[in-house]
Structure 1
Amino acid sequence: MPNVSEILDLAGIFVFALTGALMGVRKRLDVVGMAMLAEITALGGGVVRDLILNVRPAAFQSVGYVLVPLVATVIVFYWHPHVTKVMPVILVLDAAGLGLFCAVGTAKAMEYGLSPLHATVLGITTAVGGGMLRDVLAGEIPTLLYDRQLYAVPALVGSATMAALSSYGLHGWPATLAAAVLAFGLRIVAMRRKWQAPVARGDGE
């Protein structure tokens, strides 16, 4: 039976996969293309992290990690108008997945002996790497490059917090939950208040 950690992981994967499949709908891709975007969005960040850590990716240790994005694809394929209607809820769940993934990714990197700085980078990669790969494959400018409504910044804050807590000997779910909630809260506030990262002034401005 899956433990609490795996259940939360699969929940985050499911929400990320929904956003990938919805991108496929917007791009008028067939079901295969939708499934590919769903899988890459959900698993890409974690796979990149594990390859950098030189360990077998978690996505290839459990069938559920591959099947959950396929379930999300089927749901979006048949009921995407209804899924789109609950997009505000999906965005909240996506923020929760962002917080969870950045904290868990950083904690795993620290466990493998990386420095706090490098662990923070891998935590961010875990949280936003799949979305970047999705955008590149879909022919979009990756959200990370213009960070609309502060998507990467909450991941940075959550990852840095997790790395700092681990450096001071605070491990386990209390530390992970604290970092995840901080990233989640910042992302929600950024969406509600429409915060954006600063942009360089153009010529003549």
Structure 2
Amino acid sequence: MEMNLQEFLFLALDLTGTFVFAVSGVLLAARRNFDITGGLVLGTMTGIGGGMIRDVLLDRVPNAIGQPIYLAPPVIATLLIYIIGSHISRARIWIVAFDAMGLGLFSVTGTTIALSAGTNYPAALLMGALTACGGGLMRDAVASEDPAIFRGTDLYLIPALFGSGLTIIAEVTGLLGAIASLIIAAAAFGFRMLAWKLQWRVPQPMRQWSYRDTGQRVKKKLPSVFRKPD
């Protein structure tokens, strides 16, 4: 079955999102001194994790299973980073930048897929955000990194919702297309990077939910990727 130009461009956007998300996962694996197989696992999980969760919830065959080409970007990302990544594996800005690119692209493609599956607008908004955040959440949890989505010092979910919301508005107004998708993805990317650079916060709870000081020594570890800009 032949694809039209619109379908081809959408596939290219989705594969690009898979690749840049996989790069962020492999970079984090390199920063944690994982071997190449660990990098491949972490990159694959980051690249296709959010989309697989979305597709399962939408009761459709996950893209990574129905179209094996989705497995190629994580493999390429793993080989690329382990060949040239020795100079950038410990630079947090690269991990955050590639993560933000994936977040922007997946907020658009995830929402579009949800809309094409016949979901209502609130559900499409959530599916877009889930696609954008799911892989990164899995990556951080597996790599023992503080998940960015749970940090009060980091805006992660909000930029994803921003991109997903703009996609829905573009669909309602009949403006959604390849150019609009790129603009929306770039806007979500810019929002995410600006929020990270300026350390914008969401409102904190009035009461602390955990003890601040246990009086115990903790083993020193690498600081969170998302804690402070380089």
* In 2: Cα distance, 1:87 partner to 1:162 partner: 29
The match for 1:17 is 22
Verify: 1:26 aligned to 2:31, yes or no. yes
* In 2: Cα distance, 1:183 partner to 1:190 partner: 11
Cα offsets for 1:132-155 (capped at 9, x unmatched): 111222233322111543122110
For normalisation by structure 1, the TM-score amounts to 0.85
Verify: 1:140 aligned to 2:132, yes or no. no
* In 1: Cα distance, 2:15 partner to 2:166 partner: 23
The match for 2:191 is 186
SS of 1:195 mapped into structure 2: coil
Cα offsets for 1:52-80 (capped at 9, x unmatched): 11111112233331122112112223433
SS of 2:33 mapped into structure 1: coil
CA distance 1:87–1:8, shift in 2 (3 Å) = farther
Tell me how large the CA RMSD over aligned residues is. Answer: 2.5
SS of 1:84 mapped into structure 2: coil
Verify: 1:127 aligned to 2:128, yes or no. no
Cα offsets for 1:148-177 (capped at 9, x unmatched): 431221101111222233344444335433
Please tell me the residue identity of whatever aligns with 2:27. Answer: L
Displacement after TM superposition at 1:86 (Å): 6.8
Return the index of the structure with the highest Cα Rg.
Answer: 2
| Contact 2:24–2:98 (Cα < 8 Å) also in 1 | no
| Contact 1:35–1:69 (Cα < 8 Å) also in 2 | yes
- Judge which range, 16-25 or 87-96, deviates more: 87-96
The match for 2:113 is 108
Map 1:32-181 onto structure 2 (within 5 A): 32-84=37-89, 88=93, 91-146=96-151, 148-181=153-186
* In 2: Cα distance, 1:90 partner to 1:136 partner: 15
Identify which of 9, 20, 23 aligns with 1:4. 9
Identity of aligned pairs, percent? 36
- Judge which range, 74-83 or 132-141, deviates more: 74-83
Q: How many residues align?
A: 203
* In 2: Cα distance, 1:103 partner to 1:87 partner: 25
CA distance 1:71–1:119, shift in 2 (3 Å) = same
CA distance 1:96–1:34, shift in 2 (3 Å) = closer
| Contact 1:107–1:176 (Cα < 8 Å) also in 2 | no
Unaligned 5+ runs, structure 2: 209-230
| Contact 2:14–2:109 (Cα < 8 Å) also in 1 | no
CA distance 1:67–1:148, shift in 2 (3 Å) = farther
CA distance 1:91–1:145, shift in 2 (3 Å) = closer
SS of 1:17 mapped into structure 2: helix
For normalisation by structure 2, the TM-score amounts to 0.76
CA distance 1:24–1:192, shift in 2 (3 Å) = closer
Displacement after TM superposition at 1:113 (Å): 1.6
SS of 2:89 mapped into structure 1: helix
* In 2: Cα distance, 1:106 partner to 1:74 partner: 30
SS of 2:25 mapped into structure 1: helix
| Contact 2:49–2:135 (Cα < 8 Å) also in 1 | yes
